[in-house]
Structures are given as C-alpha cells and as structure tokens.
Amino acid sequence: MSTESDALIIDSLSKSFGDIKAVRNLSLDVKKGEVHGLLGPNGSGKSTTMKMILGLIRPDAGSIYVNGLNPEKDPTEVRRIVGYVPESPRLYEFLTGIEYLDFIADIHGLDADTKRRRIKEFLEALELEGRENEMISGYSQGMKQKITIIAALLHKPKLLILDEPLSNIDPKSARIIKDLINGLSREGVATIFSTHVLEIAEAICQRLTIMSQGEVLASGTPVQLRELAGMPGSGLEDAFLKLTGTGDIQEIVKALL
C-alpha cells in the first residue's frame, strides 16, 4: 500500500500476451514531485507498464497504487488525476483543435472560465494560437503532439504519464514542456517520463529505471547508474548501452561499413 509521500507504487507487476512476457515481476515507486525516467530498448515493456498504471490493460499479477487508488478497482478516479500522452496519440481528427480541447476539458469538469483561460494559455505557449479553429486532420505531426500534451495538462493532474512526449516537437516548444514539467514537479506533481533521448532523460529526471525484456535492469540517479555500469566518468548513453548489453556498437558499425 502506498504512503502519503508516494504518487505511484508498483509491486511485483507482470503481464503476458500469449507466449510473450511483456512485463516480469516489475516493482518501482515514484514520490510526489519526482520526475522518474523509464528507459529501455523497444519492446522492453515501458508502454505496457504505463497502460497498466492507467487501467487500460489488466495485469496478470501484482498491484498498482496511484495516490492510493487501485486502477483495477477505481479506473475512473485514477484517470481523473492522471495526465497521459501515449506514444502514438489518436485524436478525433474530424474536430478542430479548439473543439477537441473543449471536449477534454468538459470531460474533466473544468468550469467555463477556467477552461477558456487554460486553453488560451497553452495555445499561446506552444504557438498554436491562430490554428485552433483548423481541423486536426490538417495538422502536422508536431501540432497533433502539442494538442495531445495540452489535453494531458488541462485538468492539472497529480501524475503525468508521458510516453515519448517530445517526438516531432520543435526545440522551443520542447524546452517549454521540459521547463513546465520541472515547474509542476516543484508543485508536487509526479511524472513518469519515457524517452529514447537519454540527454533529455538526464536533464529532467531525478531518478531513472532501465527496463529490458520486461524486467528492471537498474534503477537510481544518473550518477548511480554510471557507477553501477562501472563507468563513473562516462555519458549516460554509454552506461545505458553497457547495462542493457547493447554496447558493441563499434563492431556493428564496422560490419556495416
């Protein structure tokens, strides 16, 4: 069971799809206000874990508590306090940007004034002002990603689950989002942040969990992970490659050449 300081507790979580064991006996905790990076190669179980936290996928074993709530028993309440950006967002493309955000705000019960103010602030900040009345189907991938991020933040969630949130985002907007995550952290909002860009993970995450084949390989601060890899003076990328057993890059490049 989670404590007052825990935003997320995962204990002995497992999930299989047929013969594929996507997540194996996974345990981790995230404190309120913590930005926790979830790293790993493709197919390591990161996205499956995130969907189980939301109650979108039912685990085979183990338990999850989000601010003391169990997603299996209280999925609606969990989604009420969580903001989610999936790896491949699916929007209602027959709506305009403003119609979609208005719809999301209504789902979360925002009053008219708060809804109007927050949508306006986000549209201005992410440089979508003037494009909000266009159909989402005509948006670029970056614009669609921005709309998804705004929708995840509108209701001031207590836990953010961000699966590759900065893909297709321009550098200025990416910096705004990173600074916003840090600002929300200071207000007690916890974040699970999955990315393949290790420089981003190191810049904004206080702790990191590295997954491989559904299991936790290592967890700790960037400094602790370097030490665990026996590479205290290296970059996080080199430590990550060593810990995941994928460090034979030069041999691969040599063979390709």
CA separation for the pair 168, 45 (Å, rounded): 22
Dihedral, 24, 30, 35, 37 alpha carbons, nearest 10: -10
Q: What is the mean pLDDT of each run of 10 residues along the chain (257 residues)?
A: 81 95 95 95 92 94 95 91 91 95 94 95 94 95 94 95 91 91 94 90 92 92 88 81 71 63
CB 78 within 8 A of CB 26: no
User: Residue 187 carries which side chain, given as an amino acid letter?
Assistant: E
Contacts for 17 with CB less than 8 Å, ≥ 6 apart: none
Three-state DSSP at 255 gives helix
d(CA 65, CA 178): 26
pLDDT at 60: 96
Q: What is the pLDDT of residue 36?
A: 97
Whole-model pTM?
A: 0.89
Instruction: For each of the domains in the chain, give its residue range(s) and CATH number, in order of start.
Output: 6-81+157-256 (3.40.50.300), 91-156 (no CATH)
Q: What is the pLDDT of residue 251?
A: 67
Q: How far is CA 155 from the centre of its chain?
A: 16
Q: Compute the distance between CA of residue 208 and CA of residue 89 in angstroms, rounded to an integer.
A: 24
